Amino acid sequence: MNHALTNAAGKHPDISDQLRRRICQEGFSGRIPSIREIAREYGVHAITAGKAVDALVAEGLVRSVPRRGCFVVRRRVRDVAVMAYCPNLEPGFYAGMVGILTGRMPDCHLRHRIHLKGSGSCGEGFPAPGELGLSPAGAVLTVGLQDRSYLVSLMAAGFPTVALDYVPTDPTITAVGVDNLAAGSEATRHLIAAGARDVLFVGHGRGNRTEVDALLLEVGYRVAMEEAGLKPRSVFAAQAAPGPGKEAFAAALTSGGAPDAVFTSNPQVLKGVWQCCRERNLPPPAHQISLDFRGEFPQLPAVRIDMERFCGTALDLLLRQTADPSLGPRQVLVRTRIDVPRSL
């Protein structure tokens, strides 16, 4: 295969990066191509190819054997099972996180295996620990899983495990989550500062239970409302989808009338609010805000998070856990920000 580079600047770092990815993503092992072969394959001078290989030697990813060539140091590449709470990798919140994580893993000398929701019969539809195909030195990074017993089973199997987008309420699990309490308060204060006085919070659920992060958002919302001397009211949709969101908002209209502001825990729930208003010939609430990490509604104020930082924090924790298994579990909360379009 010809991997000729078109960018003349910084060629040897680019070649190092591509070789690193071939080793970590494509399972390339054993002896790597010679300097001459790499130079021909990438269309560069042998000196440039040599610098690219030297960088990998300096990292410890390959070792040079006189008169034999360079070989992959297998122990430096660790297998990681990425367990994502999504049925496929089509554009979506969790699929986006998987893309960020797997894109950065070669730089950390990690080789990933992706397991999606529905790929097994344990822990919200995932394989049992012994079915992951990991070596004893493997590790696990979960994305969106909330099943504590399954996470504990992964750790009991000896795999360093980090749970990303997990509500970190359990001190025995290493987790990276969103600071939902602060997010709920900040979003509510934003609405109040904009002039809202009757702010309705609409949360969402997963399966037959309310999402824990939505409950924490509601706590932050109530704190901010009570600080302002305002009466909080909240409803919960059965799912993060327009239909249940419409039903929840309709119930709020029946019990307390139309609010002048709405704060939703998911942009899909906000779509349900709009549907309900259209069907009843009502104007939408004057002020609206939602957790919108993917930027689905850029025209509205939203609670957002730095996804690169969010995912990077989880990778950093995983590397620390694998480097020193004696490290105890850690829980990290990543702060959100309020984005307000310039036109508002």
- 58 within some domain: yes
pLDDT, residue 91, reads 86
**What count of Cα atoms within 13 Å lies in the side-chain half-sphere of residue 28?**
19
Same domain for 248 and 237?
Answer: yes
Same domain for 184 and 284?
Answer: yes
Same domain for 186 and 300?
Answer: yes
Instruction: Provide the 10 A C-beta neighbour count for residue 212.
Output: 15
Domain span at 129: 77-178+307-336
Global pTM value: 0.81
Same domain for 322 and 270?
Answer: no
- 344 within some domain: no
Same domain for 158 and 214?
Answer: no
- 198 within some domain: yes
- 63 within some domain: yes
Q: Mean pLDDT over all residues of the chain? A: 89
pLDDT reading at 120 higher than 70? yes
pLDDT, residue 4, reads 52
Same domain for 229 and 248?
Answer: yes
What is the tens place of the pLDDT at every residue in 55-70? 888 878 778 888 888 8
Same domain for 70 and 81?
Answer: no
Share of the chain above pLDDT 90, in %: 59
Q: What does the angle CA 155 – CA 108 – CA 105 come to, to the nearest 5 degrees?
A: 80
Q: How many domains does the chain have?
A: 3
CATH number, domain containing residue 67: 1.10.10.10
- 138 within some domain: yes
Q: Which residues of 275-299 are buried (b: 16+ CB within 10 A; e: fewer)?
A: bbbeeeeeeebebbbbbbbeeebee
pLDDT reading at 271 higher than 80? yes
34 pLDDT band, cuts 50/70/90, is confident
Strand partners, 264: 202, 290
Same domain for 64 and 110?
Answer: no
Same domain for 171 and 241?
Answer: no
Kindly report the backbone phi and psi dihedral angles of residue 69, in degrees, each rounded to the nearest multiple of 5, phi listed first: 120, -160
Same domain for 283 and 186?
Answer: yes
pLDDT reading at 257 higher than 50? yes
Residues 28 and 8: their CA atoms lie apart, in Å, by: 26
pLDDT reading at 37 higher than 90? no
What is the tens place of the pLDDT at every residue in 84-114? 999 999 988 899 999 999 999 988 888 899 9
Same domain for 147 and 231?
Answer: no
What is the pLDDT averaged over residues 199-215? 86
Last residue of a domain, one of 75, 106, 128: 75
Least confident of 17-21, 115-119, 265-269: 17-21
CATH number, domain containing residue 114: 3.40.50.2300
- Strand pairing report for 139-143 and 78-84: parallel
288 pLDDT band, cuts 50/70/90, is very high
- 281 within some domain: yes
Same domain for 288 and 239?
Answer: yes
Strand partners, 163: 142, 175
